[in-house]
């Protein structure tokens, strides 16, 4: 069979159904719009995620007998209160701890240098003075570059202050109208699609529940892990507890990789503060318990209804979509991988199963 025949057979197998062609066009246009206009539409995507997150609470209030509009108003006021607490209490505290950590970096660097000298004196055959000097020089260059990046980021943040204000104004407004007019907006989007949409409807219902559950589950996981990490670090007297807890909480966004990356700042701060001793071991053991409970208890409870994906598939999805869309790509890596899996299994193939006969023609 020639290449032309193979290509023709492949097209007839996967694109003989008109709905499959329409679905492919919708997917291509959607991905292209996000890739090309993702930065411009970032406030809308942020509001869409928050609306998915809050829709479950609105539906719960509706089931308790409250009208839709009143439920939306109650949830929206709670959301505004949480947003103001985040902007006026938590973020200034995190920023102050970041500034303190940058100011403390030279002392930490000096302590690390002294520790390396001590290590070299105890194990002269394993660590040579040249290796110690090379490590110190490398760490010095990295510290200098980190300070320059922090300065650049702080200066750039002054210029992005208007963007932050736009987010704080536009996102709540978009969240309110996405919650209030959910049915109307859904009907409008459906009116743009063809009337025959059995495949699209099936995939949409499956993905709608999974994406909503995933977003709510991730928000609950971040909150629980962050709060437990803060209480643990604060109990041990670890400095920068709020900043470290925020890092640990956000690390759950990236499966497998996030936990390993968050270990580095926790171990570094604990090592410089407590030194090499029992207290450092206790902090690292407590952190390991938090990660173990998150992976073996919290994640199965929160995401029990999610489609099972192989760890390799999850890591590839994080790398691919994170490289395309940054933070949002990492956040939606698992739902997007689930969407691809659902499409692969539901896509019409235009081939009859062996042993099945065509139905008789109508008289």
Q: In whole angstroms, what is the distance from residue 109 CA to residue 143 CA? A: 8
Q: In whole angstroms, what is the distance from residue 137 CA to residue 118 CA? A: 17
Q: Quick one: which of 347, 244, 355, 257 has its CA closest to 14?
A: 347
Per residue in 247-264, pLDDT (tens digit) is 898 888 777 677 888 888
Q: Across residues 77-101, what is the average pLDDT? A: 84
Could you tell me the CA-to-CA distances from 43 to 24, 46, 167, 169, 174 in Å, in that order? Answer: 26, 5, 6, 10, 8
Q: Say what the pLDDT of residue 198 is.
A: 73
Whole-number percent of the chain with pLDDT over 70: 68
Q: Across residues 40-63, what is the average pLDDT? A: 85
Per residue in 178-198, pLDDT (tens digit) is 999 888 888 887 777 777 767
Q: Which of 18-27, 94-103, 238-247, 296-305 has the highest mean pLDDT?
A: 238-247
Average pLDDT of every residue of the chain: 76
- Cβ atoms 208, 339 nearer than 8 A: no
Q: Say what the pLDDT of residue 326 is.
A: 73
Token pair, residue 113, equals: 């240098």
Q: Say what the pLDDT of residue 149 is.
A: 56
Q: SS in 3 state form for 38-62?
A: CCCCHHHHHHHHHHHHHHHHHHHHH
């Amino acid at each position: 069979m020639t290449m032309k025949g193979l290509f023709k057979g492949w097209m007839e197998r996967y694109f003989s159904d008109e709905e499959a062609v329409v679905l492919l066009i919708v997917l291509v246009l959607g991905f292209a719009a996000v890739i090309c206009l993702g930065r411009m539409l970032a406030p809308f995507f942020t509001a869409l995620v928050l609306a998915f997150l809050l829709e479950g609470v609105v539906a719960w209030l509706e089931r308790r007998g409250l009208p839709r509009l009143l439920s939306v108003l109650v949830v929206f006021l709670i959301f505004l209160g949480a947003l103001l607490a985040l902007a006026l209490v938590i973020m200034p505290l995190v920023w102050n701890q970041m500034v303190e950590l940058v100011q403390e970096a030279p002392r930490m660097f000096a302590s690390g240098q002294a520790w390396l000298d001590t290590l070299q004196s105890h194990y002269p055959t394993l660590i040579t003075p040249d290796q110690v000097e090379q490590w110190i020089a490398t760490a010095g260059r990295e510290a200098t570059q980190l300070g320059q990046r922090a300065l650049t980021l702080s200066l750039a943040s002054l210029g992005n202050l208007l963007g932050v204000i736009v987010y704080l104004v536009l996102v709540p407004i978009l969240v309110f109208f996405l919650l209030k007019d959910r049915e109307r907006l859904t009907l409008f989007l459906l009116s743009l699609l063809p009337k025959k949409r059995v495949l699209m409807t099936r995939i949409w219902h499956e993905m709608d529940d999974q994406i909503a559950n995933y977003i709510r589950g991730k928000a609950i996981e971040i909150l629980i892990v962050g709060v437990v990490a803060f209480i643990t670090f604060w109990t041990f007297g670890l400095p920068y507890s709020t900043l470290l807890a925020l890092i640990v909480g956000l690390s759950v966004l990236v499966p497998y990789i996030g936990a390993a990356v968050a270990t580095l700042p926790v171990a570094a701060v604990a090592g410089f503060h407590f030194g090499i001793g029992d207290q450092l071991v206790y902090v690292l053991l407590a952190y390991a318990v938090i990660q173990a409970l998150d992976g073996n208890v919290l994640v199965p409870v929160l995401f029990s209804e999610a489609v099972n994906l192989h760890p390799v598939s999850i890591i590839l999805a994080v790398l691919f979509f994170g490289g395309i869309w940054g933070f949002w790509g990492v956040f939606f890596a698992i739902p997007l991988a689930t969407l691809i899996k659902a499409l692969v299994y539901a896509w019409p193939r235009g081939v009859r199963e062996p042993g099945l006969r065509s139905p008789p023609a109508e008289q």
